[in-house]
């Protein structure tokens, strides 16, 4: 794969650090596939991330949101049990994991629940009123003159 040098862009832009970091992450490093997950759109501004966490209890999992990064961690607590049977094949992975998701601005986590071996994290994009598009009246008079005339 080709690599791109983003250094000239760093010198001439301000405030785009997050975008450059995301571009750097896309190009390098090996991608892990454990645990598998789905990202689905459940509404116009609603999303759900479902992570397959078979064998993990809710006490083994943590979900953290920090600076537009959603981190899902899983680590099974060591429990000393006497196993009555010998495991001949272990296909269900129980290893610790950490999965990170980059969220867009104004995306908030609304709920997280564990159901049938799937951890569901519900997200919603709430755009503040100041950021929403608004109509500007086109008149020949400034706003102050309109208020005085009324």
The pTM of this model reads: 0.67
* Spans of all domains in the chain: 32-77+90-129
**Span 71-93, mean pLDDT?**
78
Secondary element (H or E) of residue 9: helix 7-12
Q: What is the pLDDT of residues 45-71, one digit of tens each?
A: 899 999 999 889 989 999 999 988 999
SS3 of residue 29 by DSSP: coil
**How do 107-115 and 37-41 pair as beta strands?**
unpaired
Q: How wide is the angle at C-alpha 108 spanned by C-alphas 103 and 112, nearest 5°?
A: 100
Q: What is the pLDDT of residues 15-36, one digit of tens each?
A: 666 676 777 666 655 567 889 9
Which of these CATH numbers, 3.40.50.970, 2.60.40.790, 2.60.15.10, 3.40.109.10, describes 32-77+90-129? 2.60.40.790
Which residue did the predictor score with more confidence, 99 or 8? Answer: 99
**Span 66-92, mean pLDDT?**
81
């Amino acid at each position: 794969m080709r690599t791109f040098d983003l250094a000239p862009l760093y010198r001439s832009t301000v405030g785009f650090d997050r975008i450059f970091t995301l571009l750097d992450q896309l190009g390098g490093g090996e991608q892990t596939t454990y645990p598998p997950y789905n990202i689905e759109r459940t509404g116009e501004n609603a999303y759900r991330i479902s992570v397959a966490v078979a064998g993990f209890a809710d006490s083994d999992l943590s979900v953290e949101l920090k600076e537009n990064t959603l981190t899902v961690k899983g680590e099974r607590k060591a429990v000393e049990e006497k196993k009555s049977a010998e495991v001949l094949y272990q296909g269900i992975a129980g290893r610790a994991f950490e999965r990170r998701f980059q969220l867009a601005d104004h995306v908030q986590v609304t709920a997280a629940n564990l159901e049938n071996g799937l951890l569901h994290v519900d997200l919603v994009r709430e755009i503040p009123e100041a950021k929403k598009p608004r109509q500007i009246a086109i008149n020949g008079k400034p706003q102050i003159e309109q208020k005085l005339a009324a």
